[in-house]
Amino acid sequence: MTLSFFLILIIFHFLLSFALSLSSDGLALLALKSAVDQSSAAAVFSDWNDGDLTPCSWSGISCANISGQPEPRVVGISLAGKSLAGYIPSELGTLRFLRRLNLHDNDFSGVLPVQLSNATALHSLFLHRNNLSGPFPHSLCTLPRLQNVDLSDNAFSGHIPSDLKNCKNLQRLILAVNKFSGEIPTGVWPELRNLLQLDLSANDLEGSIPNDIGTLGSLSGTLNLSFNHLSGRVPSSLGKLPATVSFDLRNNNFSGEIPQTGSFSNQGPTAFLGNPNLCGFPLRKSCSGSDRDFSPGSRDDTREPSKPGSGLRPGLIILISVADAVGVALIGLVIVYVYWKKKDDSNACSCVGESKFGDEKGNVCVCGFPCVSGSKSEDDEYEVEGGEEGEGEGELVRIDKGLSFELDELLRASAYVLGKSGLGIVYKVVLGNGVPVAVRRLGEGGEQRYKEFAAEVQAIGKVRHPNIVRLRAYYWAHDEKLLISDFISNGNLANALRGRNGQPSSNLSWSTRLRIAKGTARGLAYLHECSPRKFVHGDIKPSNILLDNDFQPYISDFGLNRLISITGNNPSTGGLMGGALPYMKSSQKDRTNNNYKAPEARVPGCRPTQKWDVYSFGVVLLEILTGRSPESSPTTSTSMEVPDLVRWVRKGFDQESPLSEMVDPSLLQEVRAKKEVLAVFHVALACTEGDPEVRPRMKTVSENLDKIGT
């Protein structure tokens, strides 16, 4: 009887221990902990306890409730920048619901285990800046949901496999700074219809660029093939890529003439540097005669050298000399003819040297356009070209003297439509020196209001701040009114947060978001406090916050509604100045539903105030923090949209909800940022107070944000 009793106790203890043991996901994660050198991991894994039921409270681990599963499952591992040394264990492949694996900026070595392909829910793999080696993992493309692969700054080697064509959903492929060799595979790229980013730079690739790379119709940003050993001609098929794609083909062995079709017209000279055998626009090296083809055997280099004493006969030397003299004389006559042809009209100016924009009498002109007496501002900052005095007809006013271009150069340059809205049509134009600018074409009315327009646009042009899109010039004529500004190529904050498909970005770290928030606050505070007219923007929202390649923010579109009303267009919201095509697709939603506006701004007839901007900026902060958009509509609704984001966040704080229920899940992995996230939440809530008198000034908001994280 006693023996039976003890046997029952042992069985009961065994069953109880089994019931309270760590889940299978937790056991797989403990394998990762064991694979890491513990001398560098003590602090990172301090709360990874094998006595827990689930790993969902562990640092760097995120879980989600999965339909049909009795307990939360691991969906994210983020241990980036922790100085971890070790290897990646094969047990991670047992995490069937793992979606994101972020181990970048560590010191992991060895090969990537093939068993990782068993984690069939994986869509993002960020392993850049480690010391991983071996061939490209062929098994990765068996993952049906794989979208983002960043293996850059490692030691991977071997050929890039043609199996990549099986990665049908791939959006980003970044293999830069590795040891990949061989040729870029063909037949792969037409299958990758969703690819947005391709970076194969700084490897040992050779051969020619496959023609079918030109089929990547979804590509944006930069096609980076620089610092390899690629050779042959640059295929003209690359001209079929979207107009917003920039090329980086530097430091290869390309030869021949640069094609002049499609997207090639948008490229600057830096895209082709380090290829001594390339010629043609936009390089200064022309392709004349035999220079058009640098392929082996294209030049007659097989002639035998002259033998000593086998010089030319005297009669032939005299004939060559006479021919040279006649040729030089003809060239001189042509130059003189062209010069006096341009000087023939007393109203014309010379296009030689510094007189391009003015003659010796102080008149200002563009070659081929009539000159008039031009007037400049008191600070001698503006330069005027063409037109009739007082009427503004045909005037090009260059606000920035450092940006040198001619009116006819601007009007004749290849232009690509970036977007259309009630704020006009916007084009990307690449000037002759390779500098891209954004040109906004306004309405055709307002002929009698030139002075009013000029005063308004010059006030905008005087705004100089590193976080505000800069207006460079404007043009006024009866049938054409243009604003020329800086072209900011990396899109806007709306798409950086939500991407093309409305899903949150996995690459926008907390430090990047905080930098964007601080820069935007500084720019807006400058508009309010320091600009010539103490501007009110009136339409602050993520689509009007543009980003450069370093994710520095630029506020755009301030003052445009006033200019549109002068020229006769119907004002609406946009976010197009200086932007690019892939970042403008939210404009229709902007026109129908703007939940960034302050409550008092929604009353018809109210004049904009600076406190409107403060409220709008607060909503932008909440979107940065939560990853959720306040712009929902009955026809487009996702889990990342909250119709009243301000009320939703305030309710969460009033009910003392966990921060994890409100913050963007991708930020939860950055444990050290939690205090900073909470501090920014408090700033955002102060900005979005219902009473405008209670809201702080933007200067105060900017100062408070600058204190966070320093």
**Known catalytic residues?**
539
Residue 145 CB partners (closer than 8 Å, separation 6+) = 99, 120, 121, 122, 123, 169
Helices (H), 544-687: 560-567, 587-592, 610-626, 645-654, 674-687
The continuous run of DSSP H or E covering 548 comes out as none
Please name which of 667, 702, 664, 660 lies closest in space to residue 683, comparing C-alpha atoms.
Answer: 702
| Phi–psi pair at 552, nearest 5 degrees | -85, 135
129 HSE (CA, 13 A, CB side): 11
Residue keyed to tokens 């493309």: 141
- Side-by-side strand order, sheet with 253-257: 85-86, 107-110, 131-135, 155-159, 179-183, 204-207, 229-232, 253-257, 277-279
Is the dihedral angle over the CA atoms 641, 643, 645, 651 positive or is it negative?
negative
Instruction: Decide the pairing of beta strands 204-207 and 229-232.
Output: parallel
Q: How far apart (Å, rounded) are the C-alpha atoms in residues 116 and 106?
A: 19
| Phi–psi pair at 152, nearest 5 degrees | -65, 160
Residue keyed to tokens 């037109």: 387
Q: Are 117 and 144 in contact (CB under 8 A)?
A: no
Q: Tell me if residue 304 falls in helix, strand or coil.
A: coil
Distance of CA 481 to the CA centre of its chain: 28
By CB atoms closer than 10 A (0-12, 13-18, 19+), residue 495 is buried
Distance of CA 570 to the CA centre of its chain: 30
Q: How far apart (Å, rounded) are the C-alpha atoms in residues 58 and 693?
A: 43
In the chain, count H helices and then E strands. Answer: 13, 29
DSSP 81-132: TS--EE---GGGGG-TT--EEE--SSEEEEPPPGGGGG-TT--EEE--SSEE
Q: How far is CA 600 from CA 21, 297, 504, 656, 700, in A?
A: 56, 75, 30, 28, 21
Q: Tell me if residue 486 falls in helix, strand or coil.
A: strand
Give the type of residue at 17: S
Residue keyed to tokens 């004939």: 319
**DSSP 8-state code for residue 470:** P
DSSP 604-620: TTPPP-HHHHHHHHHHH
Q: How far is CA 115 from CA 138, 148, 165, in A?
A: 11, 18, 20
Q: How far apart (Å, rounded) are the C-alpha atoms in residues 316 and 519?
A: 72
C-alpha dihedral (395, 476, 491, 575), degrees to nearest 10: 150
Tokens of 448: 């009698």
Q: Tell me if residue 74 falls in helix, strand or coil.
A: strand
Q: How far apart (Å, rounded) are the C-alpha atoms in residues 653 and 191?
A: 47
Tokens of 91: 């047990």
Q: Are 639 and 590 in contact (CB under 8 A)?
A: no
